[in-house]
Amino acid sequence: MAGHIVVVGSLNMDLVVRSPRHPSPGETLLGSDFRTFPGGKGANQAVAAARVGGIVSMVGRVGQDDFGTALLQNLAANGVDAVQVKRDAEAATGVALITVAANGQNTIVVAPGANGLLAPSDVTAAKDLFTDGDVLLLQLEIPLAAVARAVEVARTRGTRVVLNPAPAQSLDSALLKHVDVIVPNQSELGLLTGMAVESMEDVTAAAHALRATGVKNVIVTLGSEGVLVIDEMNTSLLPPHQVDVVDTTAAGDAFVGAFAVALGRGGTLVEAARWGNAAGALAVTKAGAQPSLPSRAELEQLLATA
């Protein structure tokens, strides 16, 4: 089915506390507003794509605990096909401990649990989900061997690969050369390339260096600086949308999910990045990961007024 989105990735329950600021090492702070939200970069991207109109399937692993049940129910409520999300008999569902400071910036520590047991064979078992013209979304919260298998399956089945390299780790060019679009944020770009990413000139140079490793297109999400899009021919900087920042959690996931849907429907890289840019902006205006992901109507409204 052309334009179908397949996400191979993580599902976490996010345990979130608001705090006046981030604590220093060894410091205890009094925070407020403890909440739990469905999260995980993979599941966030799946829900982000479904909310803006994508037909989405997810491949992943949760535990046989209450968090796992809640995450699966939430995927179903958002119309995401989760037949290939397995329930691990031993491991707990992944959790993310998140602190959101008054300025909306977060820190996240993930205990991967069942996500860490997603195996290449799980991806092979789901290979019939991948077809010509589909878009595969990958992140790095699952074992690299599963990511590599997904890239391999996509290559043999004509599925385009979009990689959000988060959390960043070094990747070899044998994998990168089969990636159609890589979408790091500024700090991930620095970690991937080992280059400075302080100024826009630095970021542009690092993004070109990443492209030179074999990945076809590079999109760097820059928060309040907008989005840098680099393909074979052009370099474009999309301006940011001006919004009130409540919580930046899942802004990158909102970007990737909406981007994939627009790409799957035949949009150009820049058109798809515009969708992503709008979805990311809307996501920071609300608290939590999946509750903050915008609907198609909200997205179109922001694009129409920009």
Active site residues: 253
| Structure token digits, residue 72 | 């699966």
| Only segment of 60-68, 124-132, 244-252, 278-286 that touches ligand RIB (CB under 6 A) | 244-252
Is residue 247 within the footprint of ligand RIB (CB under 6 A)? no
Is residue 141 within the footprint of ligand RIB (CB under 6 A)? yes
Contacting ligand RIB within 112-131 (CB under 6 A): none
Q: Which residues of 18-46 are buried (b: 16+ CB within 10 A; e: fewer)?
A: bbeeeeeeeeeeebeeeeebbbbbbbbbb
Enumerate residues 6+ apart whose C-beta is below 8 A from 133: 1, 2, 3, 4, 158, 159, 264
d(CA 51, CA 71): 16
Shortest distance, position 10 Cβ to ligand RIB, whole Å: 6
In the shown chain, the binding pattern of residues 85 to 114 toward ligand RIB, with x for contact by CB under 6 A and - for none, equals: -----------x-----------x-x----
Is residue 44 within the footprint of ligand RIB (CB under 6 A)? yes
Torsions phi, psi of 262, nearest 5?
-65, -40
| Structure token digits, residue 214 | 């074999």
Nearer to ligand RIB, 110 or 148 (CB): 110
Nearer to ligand RIB, 134 or 141 (CB): 141
Contacting ligand RIB within 13-42 (CB under 6 A): 14, 39-41
Torsions phi, psi of 74, nearest 5?
-70, -40
Residue type, 5: I
Enumerate residues 6+ apart whose C-beta is below 8 A from 114: 61, 62, 63, 68, 87, 88, 91, 92, 93, 94
d(CA 189, CA 163): 12
| Only segment of 46-54, 189-197, 233-241, 247-255 that touches ligand RIB (CB under 6 A) | 247-255
| Only segment of 52-60, 176-184, 190-198, 248-256 that touches ligand RIB (CB under 6 A) | 248-256
In the shown chain, the binding pattern of residues 198 to 227 toward ligand RIB, with x for contact by CB under 6 A and - for none, equals: ------------------------------
Shortest distance, position 45 Cβ to ligand RIB, whole Å: 9
Torsion of CA 21, 22, 24, 27, to 10 degrees: 80
By beta carbon distance, the residue nearest ligand RIB is 39
Site of interaction with ligand RIB (CB under 6 A): 10, 12, 14, 39-41, 44, 96, 108, 110, 141, 249-250, 252-253, 289
